[in-house]
Structure 1
């Protein structure tokens, strides 16, 4: 059950909507992906698993040269599972 939850969280983290950095990530050095998840509060464990799943995938891509030579950087923000905080993160 624990592994199934971790797998589901990883899949959700990768599939959840992400946004690029305000500059569009177009500086040529890296691609920045924003993620707003609960890292504190009652749902913190779920948010931490989402972050870990996304980071594991991006590390996998980066070890193979990134995307067209550009590394992926995950920028995770804590929203505490609060919609207003999640909106403010973006």
Structure 2
């Protein structure tokens, strides 16, 4: 039996887009966020530009500074990756 998840976002949203919106709302720079979490600014830039995902460690860091849960950030990342994988599978089917 094949079970399909009928919910597919029309356009997958990379967690970096959400991160950028959060920085803009708080008027924080990428450098400021990097300093707050003690990580390289290049990591923040890579996430925002869609070149890196959210690791568990980064999710914990973001949860601490944004007052969210780490699971929120992990879910954003896994939902994005799953959506991309589904799209690839549909293209090859």
Fold similarity call, TM over 0.5: no
Q: Please, what TM-score do these two structures have when normalized by structure 2?
A: 0.30
Return the structure number with greater relative CO, CA threshold 8 A, min gap 6.
1
Query: As a proportion of its length, which structure holds more helix?
Result: 2
Structure showing greater radius of gyration is: 2
